[in-house]
């Protein structure tokens, strides 16, 4: 594939996944505790940067597996978020994917996730980036 160089700055592209599960107490959302800055030690949706030569769908599946150990989740593209200032590293556009896990899904922290846990939608911790807004928008659309 031919590589081009442009003199114009461009935004970075990421994927974030909102994976939920239904349990007896209601809906839970899978979050990771960030290992690295920015927002080190804060909770966030699993996600990361799209690699060169990678589709959005592959990036979403890869990041979810790397950070949480989940590999059997069907992911659907929800929407792109591009508000300026949403990431302190620079202008970043994130494509959000949603998925449903079984209530007995086993998760484990990996890659740049310090921890991984399920949280009730009614008791979410403080979240990194604009992930609280993303979660609210996804929940409002269902």
- pLDDT the model gives residue 1: 62
- pLDDT the model gives residue 24: 92
Domain boundaries in the chain?
Answer: 12-141
Beta pairing class for 12-23 and 92-100: parallel
Block residue for tokens 């939920």: 20
Q: What is the length of the chain?
A: 142
Output the pTM of the full model.
Answer: 0.93
- pLDDT the model gives residue 2: 67
Strands (E), 1-112: 12-23, 26-34, 43-44, 47-49, 75-81, 92-100
pLDDT of the chain along its 142 residues, tens only? 667 778 888 999 999 999 999 999 999 999 999 999 999 999 999 999 999 999 999 999 999 999 999 999 999 999 999 999 999 999 999 999 999 999 999 999 998 999 999 999 999 999 999 999 999 999 999 8
Q: Which fold has domain 12-141?
A: Nucleoside Triphosphate Pyrophosphohydrolase (3.90.79)
Beta pairing class for 12-23 and 26-34: antiparallel
If we measure between CA atoms, which residue out of 83, 109, 95 comes closest to residue 49? 95
Alpha helices (H) along 33-91:
56-68
Which three-class secondary structure state does DSSP give residue 52?
coil
């Amino acid at each position: 594939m031919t590589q081009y160089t442009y003199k114009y700055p461009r935004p970075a592209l990421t994927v974030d996944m909102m994976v939920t599960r239904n349990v007896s107490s209601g809906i839970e959302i899978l979050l990771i505790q960030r290992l690295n800055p920015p927002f080190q030690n804060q909770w966030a949706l699993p996600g990361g940067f799209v690699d060169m030569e990678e589709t959005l769908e592959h990036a979403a599946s890869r990041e979810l597996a790397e950070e949480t150990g989940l590999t059997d989740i069907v992911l659907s593209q929800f929407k792109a978020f591009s508000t300026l200032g949403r990431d302190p590293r620079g202008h970043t556009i994130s494509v959000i994917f949603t998925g449903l896990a079984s209530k007995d899904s086993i998760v484990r922290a990996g890659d740049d996730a310090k921890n991984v846990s399920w949280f009730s939608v009614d008791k979410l911790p403080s979240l990194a980036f604009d992930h609280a807004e993303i979660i609210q928008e996804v929940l409002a659309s269902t």
